[in-house]
Amino acid sequence: MFAAIDTRNWDELTEFFHPEMVYERPGYEPFVGRDRIMRFYREERVIADGRHTLDGAIAEEERAAAWGRIDAVRNDGEPVTLGFADVYLFEDGAIKVRRSHFFVPAV
């Protein structure tokens, strides 16, 4: 999935997502439905270019987690590197729920 995001291969990315997927991402209302999530990636995402590096992942039955970092350039040209962790729930072999967490100063 991250390779498809990094190469902006939207056709391939779509295949990972359940039609009724919910994506929870800090700073946004939950994205509901594969079409809405794909609109975010195609039109709204603030990252112009980036590369994800996974440090680890674990899966059991219908749930999984992955963590790592992204080295990216924002749409305004600003470089950014930050850690992330995702949790997933699967249904019918596709991601049904994804929740992203980003490691940024907050408290």
pLDDT of 105 reads: 81
82: Cβ–Cβ under 8 A, 6 or more apart, which residues? 69, 70, 102, 103, 104
d(Cα 99, Cα 107) in Å, to the nearest integer? Answer: 21
Say which CATH architecture domain 2-103 belongs to.
Roll (3.10)
pTM, to two decimals: 0.92
At residue 106, the pLDDT reads: 73
Distances (CA, A) of 23 to 18, 26, 77, 105: 11, 10, 26, 22
- Per-residue confidence (pLDDT) for residue 46, from 0 to 100: 94
Residue segments in the chain with a per-residue pLDDT below the cut of 70: 107
The token pair at 15 is 């295949």
Q: Hey, is 43 helix, strand or coil? A: helix
Give residue 91's pLDDT: 97
Share of the chain above pLDDT 90, in %: 95
